[in-house]
Amino acid sequence: MTFSHISVLAFWSGLLLSFLVDSGSLFVASETYIKQIKLPYFSYVCRATWSKIIILTHNFVIYLGVIAYFHLWPGLPGLLAVLGFLFLTVNGALAALFIGMISARFRDIPQVISSFVQILFFVTPIMWKSDVLKDHMLIVDWNPFYHLVQIVRAPLLGDIPSTSTYVVVATITMINLVVVGLFFGRYRERISYWV
């Protein structure tokens, strides 16, 4: 396992994967609170997001240990990882809200998402480098999860992500804000009945 794999696995397993997989139980697991206490639904999303950030910081200690041991400081580009982390957190929280609402209505969604995440793991360059595809780079270029990972991985390795990566991630974020905002506005009152 290379340094690149260690840096991206912390964000893949610690943040992206947990947002997708754990979001299915976001509202269902809080059924008692939802039916007894009038709290904003976004507070459940914030609680879940905060727990994922705490887990990520525990995993991130491995990355810090590796760069200290091998003297591989990423330099100034490493500061861009903070921006990438903010993008990941916003998109993860929006995905958690969306998946949590759909899973409250349709209880089979978490199993579908778990299967989908396994496929994503193999299609997204996490344990392999995107260079190996050569003539088939569209698989990587059209994979939004590649850009969500790359926006953090590249700065942690001392590289600056490409402009196209920032454009794709900003576009994904705007689409998520609009779609999830409309969906939440339309169905928020039904969550207490769905759980």
Q: Is the pLDDT assigned to residue 129 strictly greater than 80?
A: no
Q: Give pLDDT tens digits for 76-118.
A: 888 998 999 999 999 999 999 999 999 999 999 999 998 988 8
Q: What is the pLDDT of residue 74?
A: 83
Q: Can you tell me the distance from the alpha carbon of 125 to that of 131, in angstroms, rounded to the nearest whole number?
A: 9
- Contact 92/16 with Cβ under 8 angstroms? yes
**pLDDT at res. 189:** 92
Q: Model confidence at 63, in pLDDT bands (50, 70, 90)? A: confident
In the chain, the percentage of residues whose pLDDT exceeds 70 is 91
How large is the average pLDDT for residues 2-30? 75
Q: Is the pLDDT of residue 5 over 70?
A: no
Question: Does residue 59 have a pLDDT over 90?
Answer: no
Residue spans of the domains in the chain: they are: 3-194
pLDDT score recorded for residue 4 = 53
The answer to whether the CB of 97 falls within 8 A of the CB of 103 is no
Alpha helices, DSSP H, located in the chain? 3-11, 17-22, 31-36, 41-70, 80-105, 109-123, 138-141, 144-156, 163-187, 191-194
pLDDT tens profile 130-186 = 766 777 677 777 888 888 988 988 898 888 999 999 999 999 999 999 999 999 999
Q: Is the pLDDT of residue 6 over 70?
A: no
Contact 148, 16 (CB under 8 A): yes
- Two structure tokens written together for 113: 């998402």
Mean pLDDT of 33-44: 92
pLDDT at residue 66, rounded to an integer: 79
Between 123 and 48, residue with greater pLDDT? 48
Q: What is the pLDDT of residue 171?
A: 97
Q: Is the pLDDT of residue 10 over 70?
A: no
